[in-house]
Copies of this chain bind each other. A is one copy, B any other.
Amino acid sequence: MFDLIPSGSVTSASGFLAGAVRAGIKTKNELDLAILCSEVPCKAAGVFTTSQIKSAPVVLSQRHIAKGRAQAIVANSGCANACTGGPGLTDALGMASLAAAKLGISPEEVLVASTGVIGVPLPMDKIRTGIPKIKPAGTGGHEFCRAIMTTDTKLKEMAVQVDSKTTRFILGGTAKGAGMVHPNLATMLCFIVTDAVVGVDFLRAALQEAVGCSFNMVSIDGDTSPSDCVFLLANGLARNQPIDFDNGGAFQDALNAICTHLAKSIARDGEGATRLIEITVERAEDRVWARQAARTVASSPLVKAAIHGNDPNWGRIVAALGRSGARVREDRLDVYLNGVCVMRQGSPTSFKKEDLTSALSKSDTVSIRLCLNLGDGQATAWGCDLSEEYVTINSAYTT
């Protein structure tokens, strides 16, 4: 139903421009301040952190997006502007106003996103100097993506084209996130744009649905952040037949694909990670419990450390499942590790440990499949292995 656009980005969709500068917010001399904007006003939807500690940009953007409209996003890395009190909110508004002035739009049309260290005031002098220097262009997608990275080692972006008899439009997305990543978002930012004409209520519902099966199914370390947000902007320039609940299938599929790709990219690029772990829970009581079970296994430090060591210590997988809250009947449980059945109906199988260790050591992606044999609930979650490098990265982040 959709085609991947080679080297696609957020500027693959018609009428979206992006640009970034080195404002000096990061200690390294890297891109750290960026704008993504549309030539015309957009319908807009957002999903935000569920944490009770919300960053100033989250508070401001929640307010701005409430009307279902936006035309631009201004984002920075290096400083999260979180836990910064009243002055932090003033700074977030200042950042929106500077971007609005540059673009000739109202500050209420600007969404703000900041990522980086918590509890440090935003260096407004650098923001003030930097924003006017940004030159948004139709080729700026990759640059924008690079500017929102913190401990990410890889660009995370994707664009697809949906083309059918009745409709034709493009969706492009980018995300950042490598640590403090866990269900109910993460220290992650994600920006998705489309040139499709979409009804705003459907836009909101479609984003919720896509986040539910993608970003909310990723865990790197169980920690979430006050900054997490996903924005979806639709500018309508594709002039397609308007998309709504009755005809939104292809749009939803494309959106799910982008969100799932970005979510998996985040997991694979987890701090210190050497591989992706994909956990599928099948035949759980229902989808809610399947999701909960898959996420719990994805979050287990012991499972993650075992995978890091190519250790088929499947008891840890079962132990994590057991504490997930999902109903489990041990005597019905089948467990597969990279396709090899290691537990059948609650009892260990006589798999060859050396063979499985060897297979694991060669796997770029390790698959864990848990078949609960209780109902028809199914879910997939993604995580990554836990390495010594994760600790090294995170034991000296601000020092």
Whether A119 contacts B348 by the Cβ 8 Å rule is yes
Q: A305: which of B302, B316, B391 is its contact (CB, 8 Å)?
A: B391
Give a binary string over A301-331; 1 marks a CB under 8 Å from any B CB, 0 the rest: 1100110111111111011111100111011
In the bound assembly, the distance between CA atoms of A394 and B117 in angstroms comes to 29
Q: How many copies of this chain does one complex carry?
A: 2
Interface string of A322-360 (1 = CB under 8 A from B): 110011101100000000001101111000010001000
Segment from A50-58, A137-145, A156-164, A275-283 that makes contact with B: A50-58
A122 to chain B, nearest CB (A): 12
What is the interface size of chain A, counting residues whose CB is below 8 A from a CB of the partner? Answer: 73
Q: Is the CB of B85 within 8 A of A309?
A: no
| B315 near A85: Cβ-Cβ < 8 Å | no
Q: Are B118 and A315 in contact (CB under 8 A)?
A: yes
Nearest residue (CB) in B for A320 is: B223
Minimum CB–CB distance for A359 against chain B, Å: 13
State which of B53, B300, B343 has its C-beta within 8 Å of the C-beta of A119. Answer: B343
- Interface assignment of A221: CB less than 8 Å from any CB of chain B: yes
Q: Are A391 and B394 in contact (CB under 8 A)?
A: no
Residues of the B chain whose Cβ atoms lie less than 8 Å from the Cβ of A321? 53
Kindly state whether residue A225 has any CB partner on chain B within 8 Å.
Answer: yes
Contacts A83-B348, A223-B301, A323-B224 given; indicate if A357 touches B399 (C-beta within 8 A). yes
A131 at interface by CB-CB < 8 Å: no
Does A180 touch B at the CB level, under 8 Å? Answer: yes
Q: How far is the CB of A154 from the nearest CB of chain B, in Å?
A: 21
A52 touches B395 (CB 8 A): no
| Segment from A13-21, A208-216, A382-390 that makes contact with B | A382-390
Least CB separation from A348: chain B residue = B119
Q: Contacts A302-B223, A328-B52: A319 and B394 contacting too (C-beta < 8 A)?
A: no
Contact: B83 with A323, CB < 8 Å?
no
Docked pose: A104 CA to B267 CA in angstroms = 57
Q: Name which residue of chain B comes closest to A117, CB basis.
A: B315
Known: A52-B328, A221-B302, A306-B397. A226 touches B319 (CB 8 A): yes
- Nearest residue (CB) in B for A342 is B119
Q: How far is the CA of A388 from the CA of B50 in the complex (A)?
A: 30
A356–B321 Cα distance when bound, in Å, is 40
Judged by a CB distance under 8 angstroms, whether A179 is at the interface is yes
A114-150 to B contact mask, C-beta < 8 Å, 1/0:
0001111100000000000000000000000000000
Residues in chain B near residue A316, CB distance under 8 A: 118, 180, 223
Known: A119-B343, A311-B395. 15 other contacts (CB 8 A): A51-B323, A52-B323, A85-B347, A118-B314, A180-B302, A223-B301, A223-B320, A223-B323, A226-B318, A305-B390, A306-B395, A309-B399, A313-B399, A386-B394, A391-B391
